[in-house]
Structure 1
Amino acid sequence: MKKLVFGNVLKKMVKMRVLVPAEDVDLSTVKYEPEAIQAPHLMGSVFKLFVRIVESRVLGSLIVSYLKKQNKMVEMLRNTVIPEAPMFKPEFPPQEPEHGVVVLKEFGKPEDRVESALKCLPHYDPASHGNMEPASSFRYWKIRDYAHAYRSGLVTPSMVAEYIIPVIEEFSSKKPPTPLLISFDAEEVRKQAAASTQRFEEGKPLSILDGIFMAIKDDIDCFPHPSKGASTWMHEFRSVNKDSVSVSKLRSCGVILLGKANMHEFGMGTTGNNPNYGTTRNPHAPERYTGGSSSGPAAIVASGLCSAALGTDGGGSIRIPSSLCGVVGLKSTYGRTDMKGSLCGKGTVEIVGPIATTVEDVMLVYAAILGSSPADRISLKPSEPCLPILSSNDSLNALGSLRLGKYTAWFNDVNSTDISDKCEDILDLLSKTHGCEMMEIVIPELNEMRTAHLVSIGSEMLSSVNPYCDEGKGVRFNYDTRTSMALFRSFTATDYVAAQCFRRRLMYHHMEIFKKVDVIVTPTTGMTAPIIPPSALQLGETDMQVTGDLMRFIIAANYLGLPAISVPVGYDKQGLPIGLQLIGRPWGEASLLRVAFAIEELCAKSRKKPATFYDVLKAI
């Protein structure tokens, strides 16, 4: 009796919340709760002062505790009894094979996989695509356009290099600087281009990717460039002696590696703001952010200078900038790509993935870089990688049988109805054109998932950089990074375990949803590209409301390891790009690429030329 009384008193004291097991949640009682973030928007000298206060031992601890309480973080984690056991990295049940696909040899040569991917694409007609004449509506030059131009002798990789090099240098020399790349060696690029040009002259290109220019995000190793994570000091402690696994695969296909692309410092932000080197601008509106953290990769692709780029995605860092810049970004299943040679290669939420102007170019790059690490092959037991066959009528049949799930209340939680209306219109057109079935779904505990993801990615990031902070380098972080680090340091072992318990709950909910639908559809972001405050360029800024709007729909793919893709579907009233996100079941990249390709075709005529655009093949 005394035990019971004491337990009830303790429960009331801490306002304990006890969850029922995930399988017992009554979905009919789930009500969508819009995210309400309580945090100040700071920049300039006020922001600088705030960071110094929040890093102080006593007052800083009180401020962080207050903000966590205001955002119900303590309530969700420490004061909640979660019946599920922790899931410390994504665990997937066995998945049914996808239909209408080609299986790729994961352990084969990257160039052989690229050749298999090429055969999946629709027929390429040089008369309509590769004649170097302007199209009736805007479109980007694709990888196959470059390949045709090289093979026809119309241009050479060296000619393309000589056009691109001065443009890259110009971005870095602007006042203030707006660099696309933060590590660039013109002579190294010329050397790669000359080797590729010689291969074409000898009739021995390595693959369809030979001579294709790509940028690599600055948290992925690409020899001989340092990997700084867009900081000013990481390269002083971590040398780069060889390519990362993904970059090595691209190099074997003949890709010309242009340099290391700008990013939000250490990936700890969603806008792409970087006081260290300068903030990359959105090609559609230079006064606006690109989105982050893969800001440079998305911008250089959207500007037309590169056909594709490699980014990393631990919290929407490929999909957010792809959406804001009007290009395509693929986040594959956790473990589908080998993270060796990435600054954040030991985490449980991040992948390396492609950004490109079109779905078919994403497919070609994805085919080159895929392949699980030896450890992930043992623990995750991945399904065989495959790609959709887009070159036959069977593809239309496979597309028509797909079921798309939409949680309407969540879908409509955007700061402009331009976003939800445009995404809704495209989905309606997709259903009418191809017969895809739309189904209403419910996803419980979305706010808990956001908090649990923050604890997971924050703890993993802190673990990665802590050794360097102990060396006194913490003060060399940007102010927004230091703000994030102050929050991350407040997380306890209890918080981390609770977050992993939520991972098992949310995995259950999503696997139940995927018994009914093949793809979950959402807008990619809850807002279009935000304006860059001029006072934020020198010292950065913290704006958690913008972060919340940008990250609203992207968390599940990282936290649960699910594949997802952002595809451009139109523009808001200001002419800013809008992206639609497709989230798939584990190892379901082929279905996502199939749907994304169909959507891209439906939107092709409405695509607009960015304000900053370089028509490379036409200009040479």
Structure 2
Amino acid sequence: MAKKFANHPGAKQAPAAALVYHHEEDSNPPLRGWPLVIASTLLSNSSALQKLIWNNAKFGQPKYAPGLDHNVPWRIKPDVIPLGETGPMLPLEEEYLITPKSADYKGRFTSIADYHELYKSGQATPLQVVEALLPLIRRDIGVKESKYAVAFIESNVEEVLQHAKESTERWKQGKQLGILDGVPFGVKADTEVKGYVSTMGMKVDKTVEYFNKPEEETCWPALKMQEQGAIMVGKMNQHEIGMDTTGCNPVTGTATNWYNTSYFPGGSSAGAGSALCAGLVPVAIGSDAGGSMRIPPAFCGVYGLKPTFNRTCSRSTSMCVIGPMTSTVADLTIAYRVMSQPNPSDPAQNLLSLSLPPSLSPSSTKKTLGICRPWIARADPEVLSVFNSCLDYLTTVKGYTAVDITLPYLREGQLAHAATCLSEAATEAFARNPSDYLKPLNHANRILVSAAAHTPATDYLSYGQIRHVIMAHLAWLWEQHPDMIVLTPTTPIAGWPICEGDEAYGCSDGNLSIKNMTFAWVANTSGCPAVSCPGGYVDAKQGEGRLPVGVMGMGEWGAEELLLSWAREMEGYLEVEGRMRPGGWVDVVGLAKGGVKE
């Protein structure tokens, strides 16, 4: 049966000139320490310098892309809607979802199923779990603050305890709401939760009206988790306003990469990546406009799903989506299914048809991986080694066929993506504080946002033309290879090393930022879903501890369950190779039972 979509771009192969991948080295000067402070101060007060930075970043280049002419329509949002049955939610009853892994499983992370078994057995209660967890994540206890707390920004402690007591009482009466009842989870600082200010990782300044307005409603994905009894234990730290991929935040503190503390955890969902790899929570809700729910999982050895555009909720953006990050694929599947239920009051989100796993999909075909070799070659050698090992396993053991593909505008499209994200960030900054839109921002983001404010409308529309060509070409590829998964590394680098001076004022390294998003941006520009999975580990160049390497699969609009099925096979590969837990991992269940110390 042919798939049906609304707002489909139409399947059209891109012009030959657009398919030639030409890499260019970027020339954005890296800044940190006092040079960053001085540059930020000068730029904040000079329109001419802001325009110079914009031009130096080559944000005007996409409109000259080969083969791009006035006949190409521009597309502002990648809002393709897979059509069909929209519900009910797929059940959470598959054996692998509800069964904990064996106690002697190597590299075992605590899962949703583990918490469920804990409560069912009576060995500990949700209240005991929360009481063990809060001292680790609270940021309001001064000198007693745990080394793990930097992954979070704020917890409404009394509310968290109340929800834990209610869950404990439900379990006591045998009226638990399901597998998520009593399971702790966190939400990124930029995502709405009632009663919390969505600080976006900015320094709270009460003279700015924005910081005096707690959210009146909880976003749909977090609300659905709470309705299942899951306990939102706190808002999670992030790279300020989501405008980079390191997680470095000199204002709220930089979350820790527990695999190697000399490396950043990745951004912008840095607190989520840190908390998941430390074992603090099994599920986190994040946002992703350029890899922010995939790069932190790649750097921190966990899993992240960037859903189809509008899948979990609608946002005032053309790039950003909300979705889950977890420690296991089973938990990613549970969280995704819960978060993506149709919202009757969201006219865009509630039209997306239910995503079906391959076993239930009437259109399921052979297992195909799309490989764009010149693009993948941009990855560092150690990353390529892990990627190639995973590809070999998938083709020789799991029955996938690898086909060579080409993708259009890989250089121009990435510049268009970056400029679009920054332009939307500048618009949001104006809305937050119209009288002085740069005031709430740190030095690095003042440079980025002030430059982005100079994006001409003509260039912004040319970015939409690039988007249309990419989407139409992807649609053409899926006509040729139904259900194909485009396979890449998640990021071409094995971790982002922390340099001296980064955490004092932040850092701005546009060249490495662009490189870090080499593979991630396509899913945001096209609106397609993508999953990042840990694929292996490599030696680090500094500090102690090996670094995880992520492998990413991108699917057609609505193909989340296909990707989750692929991720489960990737998880099997990691089990064979040997999953590693970081040295800083915490046994929250053991703490709740009173059997272990932090």
Q: Give me the whole-angstrom Cα distance separating, in 2, the residues matched to 1:76 and 1:351.
A: 24
Distance 1:548 1:104, change over 3 A: same
Distance 1:62 1:169, change over 3 A: closer
Q: Secondary structure at the match of 2:138?
A: helix
CA positional deviation for 1:399: 8.8
- For structure 1, which segment, 583-592 or 465-474, has the greater mean C-alpha deviation from structure 2 after superposition? 465-474
CA positional deviation for 1:547: 0.6
In the alignment, structure 1 residue 471 sits paired with structure 2 residue 435: yes
CA positional deviation for 1:473: 4.7
2:196 maps to 225
Q: Give me the whole-angstrom Cα distance separating, in 1, the residues matched to 2:259 and 2:365.
A: 34
Query: Deviations 1:414-473 (Å, cap 9, x if unpaired)?
Result: 1x2111111111121111112111111111211111122123222222222213342225
- Counterpart of 1:53 (choices 32, 42, 51) is 42
Query: Deviations 1:14-68 (Å, cap 9, x if unpaired)?
Result: xxxxxxx9646137x9432224211011111111111122223354145325414
**C-alpha contact (below 8 Å) 2:356/2:562 kept by paired residues:** no
Q: Give me the whole-angstrom Cα distance separating, in 1, the residues matched to 2:111 and 2:349.
A: 37
In the alignment, structure 1 residue 26 sits paired with structure 2 residue 16: yes
Q: Give me the whole-angstrom Cα distance separating, in 1, the residues matched to 2:112 and 2:427.
A: 39
2:535 maps to 569
2:214 maps to 239
Query: Letter of the aligned partner of 1:448 in structure 2?
Result: E
- For structure 1, which segment, 164-173 or 535-544, has the greater mean C-alpha deviation from structure 2 after superposition? 164-173
- Counterpart of 1:427 (choices 383, 387, 391) is 391
- Counterpart of 1:83 (choices 54, 67, 71) is 71
In the alignment, structure 1 residue 150 sits paired with structure 2 residue 150: no
**C-alpha contact (below 8 Å) 1:335/1:372 kept by paired residues:** no
CA positional deviation for 1:77: 2.1
In the alignment, structure 1 residue 251 sits paired with structure 2 residue 239: no
Q: Give me the whole-angstrom Cα distance separating, in 1, the residues matched to 2:115 and 2:63.
A: 52
Q: Give me the whole-angstrom Cα distance separating, in 1, the residues matched to 2:493 and 2:551.
A: 12
Query: Letter of the aligned partner of 1:54 in structure 2?
Result: L
**C-alpha contact (below 8 Å) 1:177/1:279 kept by paired residues:** no
Distance 1:254 1:455, change over 3 A: same
Q: Give me the whole-angstrom Cα distance separating, in 2, the residues matched to 1:321 and 1:26.
A: 35
CA positional deviation for 1:285: 1.1
Distance 1:74 1:66, change over 3 A: closer
- Counterpart of 2:136 (choices 167, 172, 184) is 167
1:509 maps to 473
- Counterpart of 2:373 (choices 399, 408, 426) is 408
Equivalent runs, 1:67-466 vs 2, <5 Å: 67-68=56-57, 71=58, 73-77=59-63, 81-92=69-80, 105=87, 113=89, 116-122=90-96, 129=102, 133=103, 135-169=104-138, 173=143, 179-231=150-202, 232-233=204-205, 235-236=210-211, 238-339=213-314, 345-371=315-341, 377=347, 381-387=351-357, 401-414=366-379, 416-466=380-430
Q: Percent identity?
A: 27
Distance 1:156 1:338, change over 3 A: same
Query: Deviations 1:571-613 (Å, cap 9, x if unpaired)?
Result: 1122100000000001011111111101101111411111210
Q: Secondary structure at the match of 2:331?
A: helix
Q: Secondary structure at the match of 1:413?
A: coil
**C-alpha contact (below 8 Å) 1:86/1:503 kept by paired residues:** yes
Distance 1:317 1:404, change over 3 A: same
CA positional deviation for 1:379: 9.2
Query: Letter of the aligned partner of 1:74 in structure 2?
Result: G
2:558 maps to 587
2:3 maps to none
Question: What are structure 2's unaligned runs of at least 5 residues?
Answer: 1-10, 541-545, 594-598
CA positional deviation for 1:230: 1.3
Query: Letter of the aligned partner of 1:558 in structure 2?
Result: N
Query: Deviations 1:183-216 (Å, cap 9, x if unpaired)?
Result: 1133322221111111111111111100110010
Q: Secondary structure at the match of 2:535?
A: strand
Q: Give me the whole-angstrom Cα distance separating, in 2, the residues matched to 1:143 and 1:354.
A: 13
**C-alpha contact (below 8 Å) 1:403/1:519 kept by paired residues:** yes
Q: Give me the whole-angstrom Cα distance separating, in 1, the residues matched to 2:43 and 2:63.
A: 22
Q: Give me the whole-angstrom Cα distance separating, in 1, the residues matched to 2:441 and 2:222.
A: 27
Matched residue pairs, number? 566
Q: Secondary structure at the match of 1:385?
A: coil
CA positional deviation for 1:78: 6.3
1:616 maps to 588
- For structure 1, which segment, 156-165 or 116-125, has the greater mean C-alpha deviation from structure 2 after superposition? 116-125
**C-alpha contact (below 8 Å) 2:63/2:459 kept by paired residues:** yes
CA positional deviation for 1:529: 1.8
Q: Secondary structure at the match of 2:286?
A: strand
Query: Letter of the aligned partner of 2:96 in structure 1?
Result: P
Distance 1:479 1:499, change over 3 A: same
Q: Secondary structure at the match of 1:515?
A: helix
**C-alpha contact (below 8 Å) 1:399/1:436 kept by paired residues:** no
Q: Secondary structure at the match of 1:335?
A: coil
State TM-score, norm by structure 2. Answer: 0.88
Q: Give me the whole-angstrom Cα distance separating, in 2, the residues matched to 1:66 and 1:294.
A: 29
**C-alpha contact (below 8 Å) 2:44/2:450 kept by paired residues:** yes
Distance 1:305 1:177, change over 3 A: closer
Q: Give me the whole-angstrom Cα distance separating, in 1, the residues matched to 2:278 and 2:186.
A: 12
CA positional deviation for 1:121: 4.4
Q: Give me the whole-angstrom Cα distance separating, in 1, the residues matched to 2:45 and 2:355.
A: 49
Equivalent runs, 1:527-542 vs 2, <5 Å: 527-542=493-508
- For structure 1, which segment, 146-155 or 182-191, has the greater mean C-alpha deviation from structure 2 after superposition? 182-191
Equivalent runs, 1:599-614 vs 2, <5 Å: 599-605=570-576, 606-614=578-586
Q: Secondary structure at the match of 1:119?
A: coil
Query: Letter of the aligned partner of 1:423 in structure 2?
Result: F
Structure number with larger C-alpha Rg = 1
Query: Letter of the aligned partner of 1:412 in structure 2?
Result: A
Q: Give me the whole-angstrom Cα distance separating, in 1, the residues matched to 2:107 and 2:303.
A: 16
State TM-score, norm by structure 1. Answer: 0.85
Q: Secondary structure at the match of 2:586?
A: coil
